[in-house]
Structure 1
Amino acid sequence: MDPVAFELFGIKIAWYGILISLGMLIALVLSNYTSKLKKINYDLLLNAILIALPCAIIGARLYYVLFSLDYYLSNPIQILNIRQGGLAIHGGLIFGIGSGVIYLLKKKENIIKYIDATVPCIVIAQAIGRWGNFMNGEAHGGEVTKEFISRFPEFIQKGMFINGAYYHPTFLYESVLNVGIFIVLMIMLFKKVRDGYTAFTYIGLYSLGRFFIEGMRTDSLYIGGMRIAQIVSLLGVAAWIGFIIYDQVKRKKQAH
């Protein structure tokens, strides 16, 4: 696949950047709707998101650079080059959500309601952004047979034919996973589940799916011989389970 969409005044505009931007735009539009479902102040949510977006990009890049430090110390100018990828979603989530939470804390708002309203927007943006990885020919899994890849649409087959071999389209697996999570989260908002459940369901389901998908990838970041994304994913699943247990215990105490 050609990672360049077009040239503008001699500047190459990459599909990666276009798709990331499209995901952000859709997230912004969707947040207006989710804020109504949670009955929160949309202006404050919008402000939090506008603060979180640049912080998320910076965080995603810093996270990626931190765990590829040897390369970037030797090539420091490449730290600023994000047109060809190199954004780690976990870093983006930590910095993005963290910056939004700090803003809402200063406004003395019910933070968990705002996070509940935001996570469907985040996950649909992730689903779109993964196609940027496809256009870059990155974030794929290990080699597969022609018979296996033939189950996918022809354009996926062509995109996953890299250097004479076919590879698992893990970007597609994660994109589909994210769309599925988005549907679950929107149903939860419609059903008005208790505060916090939508947010932690996002954390749990994404972490669970990412753990298995990460095991297929060939470009994972490592620490001590372990895939960092899988470690973070296990922590995410633990947080999900921990929240459910905590809430159930709390409700039982309140009932007595």
Structure 2
Amino acid sequence: MDPIAFKIGPFAVHWYGILIGLGVLAAFFLGLREGKRRGYNLELFYDLIIYGVPAGIIGARLYYVIFRWEVYSDNPIRALYIWEGGLAIHGALIAAVIVGIFVTRYYKVNFWDIADIAAPGIILAQAIGRWGNYVNQEAYGYETDLPWAMYIDGAYRHPTFLYESIWNLLVFAFLLWLRRKKFIKTGEVFLAYLSLYSFGRFFIEGLRTDSLMLGPIRVAQLVSVLTIIGSITLIIYRRKAQVK
């Protein structure tokens, strides 16, 4: 596919941006619907989008550029060319959580409850956004002769963006089921999202050829392990502390 969907005069609109935008809209409307059902002031969700999306994009790009600085050091202005790809979801999540903490404090509502509302939409947005990697011919895996291999960059390769998109959709369906269960405590849907996404990402990352590296370690795998440990620890701690 041509990475450019269409042009308006001299401005090119890229499929990468369109797909990310669709994912954000899907997450927003899902969150808005659930927030309305729970009786929240819907202005809260508009503020989360207004501040969270720019912060998420900046965080995702900054995270990626930091670990790929050798690519941008000679021409730092390229760090602004997000349409070329190169957004790290972990950077986006860190920025989004920080924004979420500030916004929920401003509205004097429980951060964990809002995080639970947002979690299914976030993973759905990730599932949609991964197809932007396909259009940009990035985030693919090693060569393989498996029947579902895709022809990318001159060879048949693991379509790791597809693997992650499918995994994210499965997690999305599970989270929708989970948040209706009475045994779930506030915050546990969000923590389940973090741990389940990280579980899938750990294995999928091992197949990728473009991983961000910290010496010999794949950054996403390291972050995934730490996230799983942290999420499970928080669930155990909050249950022992009888947090509602």
Same fold (TM over 0.5): yes
In the alignment, structure 1 residue 248 sits paired with structure 2 residue 224 = no
Q: Look up the SS of the partner of 1:74 in the other structure.
A: coil
Deviates more, 1:227-236 or 1:5-14: 5-14
In the alignment, structure 1 residue 203 sits paired with structure 2 residue 194 = yes
In the alignment, structure 1 residue 219 sits paired with structure 2 residue 210 = yes
Whichever residue aligns with residue 195 of structure 1, its letter is: T
Q: Could you list the per-position Cα deviations for residues 135-167 of structure 1 after superposition, in whole angstroms to 9, with x for gaps in the alignment?
A: 11100110011xx1x3x3xxxx6xx31343111
Q: Could you list the per-position Cα deviations for residues 20-63 of structure 1 after superposition, in whole angstroms to 9, with x for gaps in the alignment?
A: 01111111111112214544332213212321111000100000
Q: What is the aligned-residue identity percentage?
A: 46
Give the structure 1 partner of residue 157 of structure 2. Answer: 167
TM-score by length of 2: 0.94
Deviates more, 1:25-34 or 1:218-227: 25-34
Corresponding pairs, count: 243
**Structure 2 unaligned blocks of 5 or more:** none
In the alignment, structure 1 residue 138 sits paired with structure 2 residue 132 = no
Q: Could you list the per-position Cα deviations for residues 53-74 of structure 1 after superposition, in whole angstroms to 9, with x for gaps in the alignment?
A: 1100010000001111122121
Q: Look up the SS of the partner of 1:218 in the other structure.
A: coil
TM-score by length of 1: 0.89
Structure 2: how far apart are the matches of 1:100 and 1:49?
A: 10
Structure 2: how far apart are the matches of 1:100 and 1:248?
A: 23
Whichever residue aligns with residue 157 of structure 2, its letter is: Y
Q: Look up the SS of the partner of 1:190 in the other structure.
A: coil
Q: Look up the SS of the partner of 1:138 in the other structure.
A: coil
Q: Could you list the per-position Cα deviations for residues 179-221 of structure 1 after superposition, in whole angstroms to 9, with x for gaps in the alignment?
A: 1111111112223521011010001000111011111100000
Q: Look up the SS of the partner of 2:7 in the other structure.
A: strand
In the alignment, structure 1 residue 58 sits paired with structure 2 residue 58 = yes
In the alignment, structure 1 residue 71 sits paired with structure 2 residue 61 = no
Give the structure 2 partner of residue 16 of structure 1. Answer: 16
**Structure 1 unaligned blocks of 5 or more:** none
Conservation of the 8 A alpha-carbon contact between 1:45 and 1:114: no
